[in-house]
């Protein structure tokens, strides 16, 4: 079978033709060298064929070979593929997909020319309805496997346009290439556009690529971040080998439409400073907030990991007293500004870690909303919540594995799942957001 620049061939697609997945480095596949640790099991020395059973969290497909689990990317359940081992350890093989011998009838052509090389997306070879069903199945499996928790019969699925949705992008720079890390690599794959980025993100990518060709470009800059609400754009230097002069940002303001200095005022509702967290899906912000706060009622509410107040402002329109807790100083200043501008004087912002604040809290509020980082709440937070016993909790979780562990502890402490929703903030990728309402 012919090859194309050392790429990966998908065959058997009938009228849809053939799809190539390039290897994860620029070196032709036959000349790649892998360091394989001796594990006491038979090493895989050549290519092998496997049948994909299912998709798992992380974006890979799971198959089995001689009693070992094999993870391979860019595949769909039911497909027969030819693969090569990249890393082996007892019971587990991480493989590179070389060729799809029998393709799933669900397979489609990817919507991006960089798919399979760029590490930003994982599911572009699947229709979007299929992606949503796969994510729900993965969420249910994580709940059962890690949390020993039966998923609710009904899981609401909240979605929107799966393209042009990102309002934020981190762009890495290496050897005059600007783009994203390659799949399973720290190498940078250069891009001149991104189909999941918003129009303003793509304007910025185009402008930055042009600027990099000029002698004025600071060659010591390694990572940039672009954030936008489609009216204004914020540019942040995240990694550099030495300080960046002010004239660089003045130059960027000449080339990037709507570039602002300092904080960005998102939709005239949320001031977001350069180091403040904000959700990335511009189409689902309002529906995420509505899903998380639906049915919230009482006199007092607590918003932990509050950021700039995305949930806090909505809660303050429903509760008599709201406390928002955030550890980042810049985000707390943004939150206070946003609350004051909205006329929400009964919204109090506290700069503290969620753990420290909850430990000193003398009594439980009526409602607690938590949007923790990927690491989840953790045992200490779960134990403290079970001790305080607030009647109603909502967790907005970005990792189903840590969510499953947190839910196991809360359920053991007397809570039950009242409602669960999968909010697909990250189409074309394996990432998913889960909103869970728990009650006592």
User: What CATH number does residue 148 fall under?
Assistant: 3.40.50.150
In a domain, 394, yes or no: yes
In a domain, 116, yes or no: no
pLDDT value at residue 331: 98
Cα distances (angstroms) measured from residue 148 to each of 133, 141, 195, 247, 422: 21, 10, 38, 56, 19
Examine the domain organization and report whether 95 and 182 are in the same domain: no
Examine the domain organization and report whether 298 and 435 are in the same domain: yes
Report d(CA 317, CA 321) in Å as an integer.
10
Catalytic positions are 398
pLDDT value at residue 41: 57
- For residue 21, give its domain range: 8-107
Residue numbers of the chain with a pLDDT score lower than 70 = 1-42, 45
Partners of 234 in the beta sheet?
227
pLDDT value at residue 45: 65
Residue 164, helix vs strand vs coil: coil
Looking at 107, 124, 151, the residue that finishes a domain is 107
Q: Determine how β-strand 300-304 pairs with β-strand 264-266.
A: unpaired
Number of domains into which the chain is organized: 3
Contact between 292 and 396 under an 8 Å Cβ cutoff? The reply is yes
pLDDT value at residue 16: 38
Examine the domain organization and report whether 298 and 430 are in the same domain: yes
In a domain, 96, yes or no: yes
Examine the domain organization and report whether 297 and 383 are in the same domain: yes
pLDDT value at residue 12: 38
What is the distance in angstroms between the CA of the first residue and the CA of the last residue of the chain? 61
């Amino acid at each position: 079978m012919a090859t194309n620049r050392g790429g990966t061939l998908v065959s058997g697609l009938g009228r849809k033709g053939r799809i190539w997945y390039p290897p994860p480095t620029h070196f032709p596949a036959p000349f790649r060298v892998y360091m394989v640790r001796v594990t006491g099991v038979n090493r895989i020395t050549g290519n092998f064929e496997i049948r994909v059973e299912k998709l798992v969290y992380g974006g890979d497909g799971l198959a089995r070979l001689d009693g070992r689990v094999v993870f391979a990317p860019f595949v769909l359940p039911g497909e027969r593929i030819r693969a090569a081992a990249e890393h082996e350890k007892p019971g587990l093989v991480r493989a590179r997909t070389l060729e799809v011998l029998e393709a799933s009838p669900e397979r489609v052509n990817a919507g991006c020319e960089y798919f399979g090389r760029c590490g930003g997306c994982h599911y572009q070879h699947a229709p979007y309805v299929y992606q949503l069903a796969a994510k729900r199945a993965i969420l249910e499996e994580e709940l059962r496997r890690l949390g020993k928790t039966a998923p609710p019969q009904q899981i609401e699925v909240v979605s929107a346009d799966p393209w042009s949705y990102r309002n934020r992008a981190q762009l890495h720079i290496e050897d005059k290439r600007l783009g994203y890390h390659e799949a399973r690599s720290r190498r940078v794959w250069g891009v001149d556009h991104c189909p999941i980025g918003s129009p303003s993100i793509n304007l910025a990518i185009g402008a930055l690529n042009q600027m990099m060709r000029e002698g004025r470009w600071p060659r010591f800059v390694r990572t940039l971040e672009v954030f936008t609400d489609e009216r204004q754009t914020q540019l942040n230097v995240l990694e550099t080998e030495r300080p960046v002069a002010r004239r660089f940002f003045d130059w960027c303001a000449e080339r990037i439409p709507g570039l602002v200095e300092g904080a960005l005022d998102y939709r005239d509702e949320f001031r977001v400073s350069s180091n403040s967290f904000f959700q990335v899906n511009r189409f689902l912000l309002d529906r995420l907030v509505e899903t998380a706060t639906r049915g919230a009622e009482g006199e007092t509410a607590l918003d932990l990991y509050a950021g700039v107040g995305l949930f806090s402002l909505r809660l303050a329109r429903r509760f008599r007293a709201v406390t928002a807790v955030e550890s980042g100083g810049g985000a707390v200043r943004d939150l206070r500004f946003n609350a004051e501008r909205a006329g929400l004087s009964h919204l109090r912002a506290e700069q503290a870690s969620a753990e420290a604040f909850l430990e000193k809290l003398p009594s439980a509020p009526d409602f607690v909303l938590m949007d923790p980082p990927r690491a989840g709440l953790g045992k200490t937070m779960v134990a403290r919540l079970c001790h305080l016993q607030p009647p109603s909790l909502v967790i907005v979780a970005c990792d189903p594995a840590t969510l499953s562990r947190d839910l196991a502890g809360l359920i053991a402490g007397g809570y039950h799942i009242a409602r669960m929703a999968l909010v697909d903030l990250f189409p074309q990728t394996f990432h998913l957001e889960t909103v869970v309402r728990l009650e006592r």
